[in-house]
């Protein structure tokens, strides 16, 4: 595998309380695969896709509002990807395709972080929604004739991931050493 990646981000204060963030990651990966283990030994097995290339730009945009040191409200939009690769857990015949493609995701988050009661209470709430395309999933298959399990990675149609996270920490200054933590996710 040869991989090159660069990330850049610019932060700009629209006002003293509002910050805009714009960023992007550029990635270029080239993977080569050849199967040299066969039974009986015959040398290299020519696969139908011996080389794959993944090139991608993944942008992000964020907006943060901090009216004071005790409150932050944020929103972000992101796009990301995970490059494709090869299945290494099986023996393939000449002309087989042992590759799988890139996975892509788009989505965003909204949330608030707060410090209250003179710093004794911290509470965070965030919601998120992401949509995956060509999701990379693992599957166990039984190969014939050996009946051995082979772990494959394939691209599925897609998936959605969404939810809400809440957490709180209470450390009353009136009780030295006491900290209560709690979290709920849906």
Residue 17 scores a pLDDT above 90: yes
pLDDT tens-digit series, residues 120-138: 999 999 999 999 999 998 8
Q: How far apart are CA 58 and CA 130, in angstroms?
A: 14
pLDDT at 144: 64
Round to whole Å and give the CA distance between 43 and 86.
19
Q: Give whole-number Cα distances, 138 to 21, 83, 144, in Å.
A: 35, 15, 19
The reply to whether omega before 105 is within 30° of 0 (cis) is: no
User: Which pLDDT score, from 0 to 100, does residue 57 have?
Assistant: 95
pLDDT of residue 98: 84
- Residue 76: name the closest of 134, 14, 122, 126 by CA: 126
Exposure string (b/e) for 28-65, b if CB count within 10 Å is 16 or more? ebebebebeeeeeeeeebebeeeebebebebebebebe
Who's near 129: CB < 8 A, 6+ residues apart?
Answer: 107, 108, 160, 161, 162
The helix (H) or strand (E) run that includes residue 102 is none
Rounded to two decimals, the pTM is 0.79
Cα-Cα-Cα-Cα torsion 139, 143, 146, 147, nearest 10 degrees, comes to 60
Does the CA dihedral 89-95-100-102 come out positive or negative?
positive
Q: Which range, 82-86, 97-101, 110-114, is most confident?
A: 110-114
Q: Give the chain's mean pLDDT.
A: 90
Tell me the CA distances in angstroms from 180 to 121, 170, 175, 186, one per residue in order: 10, 5, 11, 21
| Block residue for tokens 């965070």 | 124
Select the more confidently predicted residue: 102 or 152.
102
Higher pLDDT, 140 or 68: 68
In the predicted model, is pLDDT for residue 53 greater than 80? yes
């Amino acid at each position: 595998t040869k991989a090159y990646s660069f990330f850049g981000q610019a932060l700009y204060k629209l006002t003293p309380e509002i910050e805009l963030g714009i960023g992007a990651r550029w990635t270029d990966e080239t993977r080569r695969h050849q199967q040299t283990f066969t039974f009986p030994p015959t040398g290299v097995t020519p696969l139908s896709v011996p080389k794959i290339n993944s090139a991608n730009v993944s942008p992000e945009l964020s907006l943060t509002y901090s009216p004071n040191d005790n409150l932050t409200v944020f929103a972000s939009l992101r796009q990301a990807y995970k490059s494709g690769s090869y299945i290494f857990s099986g023996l393939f015949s000449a002309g087989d395709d042992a590759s799988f493609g890139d996975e892509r995701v788009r989505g965003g988050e909204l949330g608030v972080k707060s410090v209250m009661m003179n710093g004794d209470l911290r509470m965070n709430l965030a919601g998120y929604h992401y949509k995956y395309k060509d999701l990379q999933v693992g599957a166990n298959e039984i190969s014939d004739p050996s009946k051995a399990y082979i772990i494959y990675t394939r691209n599925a149609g897609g998936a959605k991931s969404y939810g809400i996270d809440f957490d709180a920490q209470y450390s009353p200054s009136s009780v030295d050493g006491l900290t209560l933590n709690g979290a709920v996710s849906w």
